[in-house]
Structures are given as structure tokens and as C-alpha cells.
Amino acid sequence: MIRIAVLVSGGGTNLQALIDSEQRGEIPHGKITLVVASRPDAYALERAKKAGIETAVVRRKDYASLDEHDQALVSVLKEHDIDMVILAGYLSILGPEFIRAYTDRIINIHPSLIPSFCGKGFYGLKVHDEALKRGVKVTGATVHLVNEIPDGGRILLQKAVEIEEGDTPEILQKRVMEQAEWILLPKAAAMISEQLDKEEDK
């Protein structure tokens, strides 16, 4: 069984989608055993506690450098024997040391169809705001492996979502979550955990 850590910064709706999916038996090779937040007031921590999942908080501002923050984060994950990492609305930047420690074992969900509206500075409502400003007719979400380039890792899954007349960034954000993010992220978690489980069996 692949032990999964989910990294969060906010409300944790994607975390909830993962927890629900796991409880339905849709991630048979993986188990969420840890939720790590970048801030102590992240509501995602409450969701984790309700589901009986261990939690930790690792704040970037508690460390003098990105390397020190990465080291602290890696040691928390190693203490919990974590095999795979899911970024679910995690807003802290991860440095090369962290990415090296979990090469091809970190997945992220991004609220657009990469390569559109992605990269440094594109997160949260800004992504949807830019999509509406550009007048695109279709947006969506992408799950990708994480490497050292923001949103630059190999694409695993994508799902398109129609943009509708009268959409605001907030309305669009909710539709992309419901129609794409909450479906794709558990699917990718199942896919990668199965792959890692098979590799470990070899």
C-alpha cells in the first residue's frame, strides 16, 4: 500500500474529494496517511482530523531559506514513511531538494488546460480571471507530475470545462472544481499509486 501525503494551504476541497474517493474504494493501492498544511489556520486540517488522518504544519516563514524549509518538509514526510505526495491547493513553492526527494512521486492539480494560464504567478482565482479576460471558450483542469518548473511536469490527465455567458472568476472556479478537479485528482492518485505499488512489488 502506497502511503500518501496531501499538501494543502486552504479550505481543502480537493483534499475532501480525495478522502471521499478513497472511502469509496477508488484508490485501492494508496492510503492518505498524512495531511501537511503550510498554515495552521487552513480549514483542510479540520477535514483531515474528521477523517482520522494525521496532520502537520510546516510554515515557510519559520525557516531562513527555501532549502531549510524543504529539509523540514522532507523530514516530516520521511518520519511518516510517505511514498507519494499530492499537492492540493498548496501555495508554498517547493525547492529542488524536495522535488529530488520525491522524483516522479509528486502530483499537482492546476485549474486550467496546461499550457494555457499556468506557470509562476498563476494560481487560484487569477487563473480563471485571465481565462475570462482572454475570452477563451473552454478551460478545465490538469493533473501533472511536479518538477522544478512551475506547472512544467509531465501531464497525466486533463478535462475540459465549458465557459458560460455571465461567468465570473468565482463561478468559473467552482465549475472547474466540480466538473474537473474533484474528478481528475482522485483518478490520478489511483493511477500513480498503482504504478508505484507495482514498481515496489518488482
Q: Which three cell numbers stand for residue 116?
A: 494555457
Q: What number of residues does the chain have?
A: 202
By annotation, the residues acting in catalysis are 110
Q: Extract the runs of DSSP E, i.e. beta strands, from 19-177.
A: 30-37, 54-57, 84-87, 106-110, 138-145, 155-162
> Which residue is associated with the grid cell 495531511?
35
Q: What is the dihedral of CA 129, 133, 137, 140, to 10 degrees?
A: -20
CA distance 109 to 51: 22
> Which residue is associated with the grid cell 516530516?
76
